[in-house]
C-alpha cells in the first residue's frame, strides 16, 4: 500500500510528512470532528450533495455496493430515513486508520502523563533527555541546523508538556526541586533559539502564578497552605539556581548570573513587533510580579542587581498604549512601594524627570479607555511612592514638578485627582516645606480650593460626578492644607494668603470644613457602635481584649471617618487660633450642630496619643507634630 497516495492532500490543505506517525494520524482524525470528505482526483475537495431521489430512479442510478468516491461506509451508516452519514473514506483508507488507531492505544507513547509523582518524574526525565540531545547535536553540528532541528522540536514539546504541573503544585513542585531540573530550566533561558527561551518564560510564568492549583479545585485550607509553601519553595530555588550551579562549577565565574538577570537580558533580546516576543515580554513582567509577590525582599535585587529599571523607564515612555506599557508601569509601581533603596535608585536613573514627562501628556487630554486610565494612575502612583523620600522631593522641585501639578489641576481633566494626591505626598512632613512655598507662589491655592468646593470644568457641569468632590480628592486636599499650616512660617505672606481663603466669601471655606467634619463624625459614630457591640460580645464570653485587637479597632476607626475628622479638626484648630473672625463664626456654626470647641480638642487628643515617631529628623528649632498638637489642644480648650 502506498500511504502517500491514499492520504494525498489536495489544494491548500496541510501536507503530511513522508512517514506519518500513529499519533499524527490519530490527531487528524480527532481534529476533523465529523468524518472528513475524501478529495476528488483533480486535487480539489469534492462537494457532497445529498438530494432526494425518486424510488424508481434509486436502483437505476446507484449500483449495488458502489458508493460515491468509494466511501466504504456510505450505505452502512445510512439511517432509516435515508440520510447520509458516510465518513468520506474508502474501505482501504479506513482499514489503515483503524490499524494506526489500535497501535496508538497500545505501544505508542502518550503525550500526557498522569499528574502524580511518577508522571511528573517521567515528564522531567523526558525534558532532561531532550535538552541533552539538543545540546549534544548543537555542539556537534553548529553550522548545520538541519541536523539538530528535530531535537529542538522535541525539546520544545518537552517544555510545553510541563505546563500542566501548575495544576498540582503540592505534588509537582517538590519533585521538580528534587530532580535538579530547575537549574537546567534557568540555563535554557540563554538558549540560542529564542523560541526555546520563550517556552521557558511561559512555563516559569505559569508555575509561579499565585493561583496555581486553583482550577476546579475546592481543597481545604491545609491544602491551600501546602500549595503556598510549594510555590514559595519553587521561587526560592529558581532565584538561587545560579548559586547551585556555582557549587558544581566553581571554574565558571558567573557569580551574578541568575534567573532575574537572564530574564532581563531576554527582554532586550525580544522584538515586540513580533506577537510571540510581545507575549514573551508580558510573561517576563508577570514572572517578576509573581516573584516579588511571593518574596517582597527580592524587589530590591531586581532594581539594584539587574538592568530592569532602565528598561521599565524606557518602556513606559512609549506614546502608543499597549498591554506591555501598562504592565511596565504597574510593575514599577509595585517595586517602589516598600523600598527606599529602589526609590533612591529611581532618582539616580533620572526617573523623576521621566515620570513627570509621561504625566504631562495628560494635561490637556484624558485617557481613551479604562486600560490607559489604569496606566496613567500607575505612573502617578510611582511618583507618590518615590516622594516619600526627602531626596526625591528635592529632585521633584528641581524638575518643576509642583508647577506642573498646579497647571494640570487648572485644566480640570481626569488627571486632576492624581495631581492633588501627588502634591499631598510632595508637601508632607518637614522635607516638604519648600514645596509648600512653591505651591503658593504657583497660585496653587485657587485650584486647591476649587477642588475642595467641588468646582469642575464647564464640560463636566451638570454631571453626577460634578456635584461633590470624590472622597479621595477631599482627603488629599485636607492633607495639603494640613501640610501648609504645619510648614509655612508664621506671619509669612504665604501663610496670610492661606488664612485669607477661609475668610473670603463670608467664610464659605470654613463652612465647607465644618460640613466635612459633620459627615466624618456621622460615619465614625456608626463604626463606634459596631465596635461597642463587638466588645460587649467579648465581655459576655469573658474573653480578654488584647493590644492587637485594640490596634485593629483603631485602624478600623481611621478608615471609618476618624482620619478625616482628625485632619479637619487639625486645620480648624489652626484657623481658630489665628483669626478672631473665623473663631467667632466657627463657634456659632458648631453651636447650631450641638457641638463645641471641646469636641475638636477631644479629637486632637486621640490624634496626639497615636502620633508615631517622626520618619525624618525635624529641622533645628522646629516643633514636632506631637508638640504642635499639644499647643493646639491647650488653646482650643481655653476658648
172 and 40, same structural domain? no
Which positions ≥6 away from 3 have C-beta within 8 Å? Answer: 20, 96
Domain match, 251 and 173 both: yes
| Residue that is last in its domain, among 501, 528, 562 | 501
pLDDT at 357: 97
Q: What is the pLDDT of residue 34?
A: 42
Is residue 508 assigned to a domain? no
Residues contacting residue 36 through CB under 8 Å, at least 6 positions apart: 87, 88, 89
Quote the pLDDT of residue 251.
37
- Domain-located, residue 386: no
Claim to verify: residue 27 and residue 126 sit in the same structural domain: no
pLDDT band at 84 (very low <50, low <70, confident <90, very high): very low
Domain boundary among 348, 381, 414: 381
- Return the top range by mean pLDDT from 64-68, 269-273, 322-326, 536-540: 322-326
CB 306 within 8 A of CB 239: no
Average pLDDT score over residue span 340-359: 97
Residues 300 and 427 occupy one common structural domain: no
- Do 21 and 85 fall into the same domain? yes
Whether 133 and 278 share a structural domain = yes
Bridge-partner residues for 39, per DSSP? 45
Question: From residue 401, how far is each of 286, 411, 418, 549, 566 by CA, in Å?
Answer: 31, 16, 13, 41, 29
| Domain coverage including residue 374 | 296-381
The domain tally of the chain equals 5
> CA quadruple 204, 205, 206, 211: dihedral positive or negative?
positive
The verdict on residue 160 lying in a domain is: yes
On whether residue 67 sits in a domain, the answer given is yes
Is the separation of the CB atoms in 527 and 560 below 8 Å?
A: yes
Is 629 within the bounds of a domain? Answer: yes
Give the mean pLDDT of 611-621: 66
Sort residue 11 into left (φ over 0), alpha (ψ -120 to 50) or beta.
left
Q: At 39, phi and psi to the nearest 5?
A: -70, 150
Instruction: Output the pLDDT for position 581.
Output: 96
**Does one domain contain both 367 and 434?**
no
Q: Are residues 538 and 425 in the same domain?
A: no
Q: Does 455 lie in the same domain as 345?
A: no
Shared domain for 165 and 264, answered yes or no, is yes
Rounded percentage of the chain residues whose pLDDT exceeds 70: 75
Distance of alpha carbon 327 from alpha carbon 333, whole angstroms: 10
Residue 175 resides in a domain: yes
d(CA 8, CA 10): 7
With respect to residue 539, please indicate whether it lies within any of the assigned structural domains: yes
Domain assignment of residue 460, yes or no: yes
Span 29-72, pLDDT tens digits: 444 444 444 444 444 444 444 444 444 444 444 444 445 555 55
Residue 585, judged by CB atoms within 10 A of its CB (0-12, 13-18, 19+), counts as: buried
Q: Are residues 414 and 545 in the same domain?
A: no
Whether 243 contacts 187, CB under 8 Å: no
| 121 and 169 part of one domain | yes
Among residues 271, 295, 319, the one where a domain terminates is: 295
Amino acid at each position: 500500500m502506498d500511504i502517500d497516495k491514499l492520504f494525498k492532500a489536495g489544494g491548500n490543505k496541510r501536507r503530511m510528512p513522508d512517514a506519518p506517525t500513529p499519533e499524527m494520524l490519530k490527531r487528524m482524525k480527532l481534529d476533523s470532528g465529523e468524518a472528513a470528505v475524501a478529495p476528488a482526483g483533480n486535487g480539489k475537495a469534492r462537494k457532497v450533495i445529498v438530494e432526494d431521489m425518486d424510488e424508481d430512479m434509486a436502483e437505476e442510478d446507484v449500483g449495488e455496493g458502489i458508493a460515491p468516491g468509494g466511501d466504504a461506509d456510505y450505505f452502512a451508516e445510512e439511517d432509516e430515513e435515508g440520510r447520509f452519514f458516510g465518513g468520506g473514506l474508502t474501505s482501504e483508507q479506513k482499514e489503515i486508520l483503524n490499524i494506526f488507531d489500535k497501535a496508538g492505544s497500545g505501544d505508542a507513547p502518550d503525550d500526557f502523563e498522569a499528574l502524580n509523582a511518577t508522571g511528573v518524574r517521567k515528564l522531567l526525565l523526558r525534558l532532561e533527555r531532550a535538552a541533552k540531545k539538543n545540546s549534544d547535536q548543537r555542539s556537534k553540528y553548529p553550522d548545520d541546523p538541519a541536523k539538530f532541528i528535530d531535537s529542538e522540536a522535541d525539546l520544545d514539546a518537552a517544555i510545553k508538556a510541563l505546563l500542566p504541573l501548575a495544576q498540582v503544585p503540592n505534588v509537582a513542585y517538590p519533585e521538580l526541586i528534587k530532580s535538579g531540573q530547575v537549574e537546567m530550566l534557568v540555563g535554557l533561558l540563554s538558549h540560542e533559539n529564542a523560541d526555546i527561551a520563550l517556552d521557558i518564560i511561559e512555563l516559569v510564568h505559569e508555575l509561579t502564578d499565585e493561583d496555581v492549583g486553583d482550577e476546579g479545585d475546592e481543597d481545604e485550607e491545609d491544602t491551600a497552605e501546602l500549595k503556598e509553601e510549594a510555590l514559595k519553595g519553587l521561587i526560592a530555588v529558581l532565584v538561587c539556581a545560579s548559586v547551585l550551579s556555582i557549587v558544581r562549577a566553581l571554574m565558571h565565574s558567573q557569580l551574578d548570573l541568575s534567573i532575574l538577570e537572564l530574564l532581563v537580558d531576554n527582554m532586550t533580546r525580544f522584538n515586540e513587533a513580533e506577537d510571540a516576543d510581545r507575549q514573551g515580554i508580558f510573561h517576563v513582567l508577570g514572572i517578576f510580579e509573581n516573584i516579588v509577590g511571593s518574596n517582597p525582599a527580592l524587589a530590591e535585587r531586581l532594581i539594584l542587581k539587574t538592568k530592569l529599571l532602565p528598561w521599565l523607564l524606557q518602556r513606559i515612555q512609549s506614546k502608543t498604549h499597549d498591554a506591555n506599557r501598562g504592565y511596565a508601569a504597574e510593575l514599577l509601581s509595585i517595586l517602589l512601594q516598600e523600598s527606599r533603596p529602589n526609590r533612591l535608585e529611581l532618582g539616580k536613573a533620572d526617573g523623576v524627570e521621566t515620570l513627570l514627562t509621561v504625566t504631562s501628556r495628560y494635561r490637556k487630554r484624558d485617557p481613551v479607555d479604562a486600560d490607559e486610565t489604569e496606566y496613567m494612575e500607575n505612573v502617578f502612583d510611582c511618583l507618590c511612592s518615590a516622594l516619600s523620600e526627602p531626596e526625591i522631593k528635592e529632585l521633584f522641585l528641581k524638575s518643576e514638578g509642583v508647577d506642573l501639578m498646579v497647571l494640570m489641576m487648572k485644566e480640570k481633566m481626569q488627571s486632576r485627582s492624581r495631581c492633588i494626591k501627588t502634591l499631598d505626598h510632595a508637601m508632607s512632613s518637614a522635607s516638604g516645606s519648600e514645596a509648600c512655598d512653591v505651591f503658593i507662589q504657583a497660585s496653587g491655592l485657587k485650584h486647591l480650593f476649587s477642588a475642595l468646593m467641588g468646582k469642575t470644568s464647564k464640560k463636566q457641569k451638570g454631571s453626577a460626578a460634578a456635584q461633590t468632590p470624590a472622597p479621595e480628592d477631599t482627603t488629599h486636599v485636607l492633607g495639603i492644607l494640613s501640610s501648609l499650616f504645619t510648614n509655612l512660617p508664621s506671619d509669612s505672606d504665604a501663610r496670610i494668603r492661606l488664612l485669607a481663603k477661609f475668610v473670603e466669601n463670608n467664610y464659605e471655606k470654613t463652612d465647607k470644613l465644618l460640613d466635612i467634619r459633620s459627615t466624618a463624625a456621622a460615619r465614625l459614630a456608626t463604626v463606634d457602635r459596631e465596635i461597642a457591640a463587638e466588645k460587649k460580645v467579648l465581655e459576655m464570653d469573658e474573653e480578654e481584649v488584647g493590644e492587637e485587637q485594640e490596634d485593629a479597632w483603631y485602624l478600623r476607626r481611621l478608615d471609618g471617618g476618624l482620619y478625616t475628622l482628625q485632619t479637619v479638626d487639625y486645620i480648624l484648630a489652626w484657623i481658630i487660633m489665628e483669626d478672631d473672625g473665623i473663631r467667632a463664626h466657627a463657634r456659632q456654626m458648631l453651636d447650631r450642630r450641638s457641638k463645641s470647641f471641646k469636641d475638636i480638642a477631644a479629637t486632637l487628643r486621640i490624634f496626639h496619643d497615636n502620633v508615631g515617631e517622626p520618619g525624618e529628623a525635624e529641622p533645628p528649632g522646629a516643633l514636632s507634630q506631637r508638640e504642635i498638637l499639644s499647643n493646639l489642644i491647650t488653646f482650643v480648650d481655653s476658648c
